[in-house]
């Protein structure tokens, strides 16, 4: 559905008001937003409101979307114009209200997206690969980096936890010996 709306949106005056960078990111932004709203908030366009917008833009998108600062700077202008467009098409009833609210929270979204403590494990890995200069389109390079990354994570985790003996109680709390439980 979003794809159909985007086809119309790209012909609108709302779209024409965007910068070249915003236009380039617009389909991804609209698709990520609509998908996250549906998959994580359980709402389609008729259910988009300030609460679901807050959750999506301050938690879900910043934690899951592996993009840089410029992409997140483009989210507010793109979605604002998209919301207004959908309101004018009577797809949603609160387009202007959502656009105004998004403008209020956009700086917090940009900050949240840049803060690694907000990232999920997949975004943490991808952003680490990007920062290491890995070409994400090169499957071999990505695979090699993933192996190195996993070794580093394993080394960190194993040095931060005491070694558990085979006959020690299992750390999962089952009451069984480690060798008969998680260690098998």
pLDDT tens digits, 120-131 = 989 999 999 998
Model confidence at 119: pLDDT above 90 = yes
User: What is the per-residue pLDDT for 159?
Assistant: 65
User: What is the per-residue pLDDT for 151?
Assistant: 85
User: What is the per-residue pLDDT for 160?
Assistant: 60
What confidence tier does 158 reach under pLDDT thresholds 50, 70, 90? low
Output the CA–CA distances (angstroms, integers) from residue 182 to 153, 157, 164, in the order listed: 20, 16, 11
Expressed in percent and rounded to 5, the helix, strand and coil fractions of the chain are 70, 0, 30
pLDDT tens digits, 13-58 = 999 999 999 999 999 999 999 999 999 999 999 999 999 999 999 9
């Amino acid at each position: 559905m979003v794809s159909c709306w985007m086809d119309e949106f790209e012909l609108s005056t709302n779209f024409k008001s965007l910068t070249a960078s915003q236009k380039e990111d617009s389909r991804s932004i609209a698709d990520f937003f609509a998908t996250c709203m549906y998959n994580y908030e359980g709402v389609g366009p008729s259910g988009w409101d300030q609460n679901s917008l807050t959750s999506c833009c301050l938690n879900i998108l910043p934690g899951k979307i592996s993009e840089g600062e410029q992409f997140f700077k483009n989210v507010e202008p793109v979605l604002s114009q998209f919301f207004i467009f959908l309101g004018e098409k009577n797809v949603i009833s609160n387009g202007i209200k959502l656009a105004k609210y998004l403008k209020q929270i956009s700086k917090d979204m940009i900050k949240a997206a840049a803060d690694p403590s907000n990232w999920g494990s997949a975004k943490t890995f991808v952003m680490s690969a990007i920062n290491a200069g890995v070409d994400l389109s090169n499957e071999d390079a990505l695979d090699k980096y993933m192996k190195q990354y996993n070794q580093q994570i394993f080394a960190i985790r194993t040095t931060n936890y005491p070694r558990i003996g085979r006959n020690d109680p299992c750390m999962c709390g089952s009451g069984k010996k480690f060798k008969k439980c998680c260690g098998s």
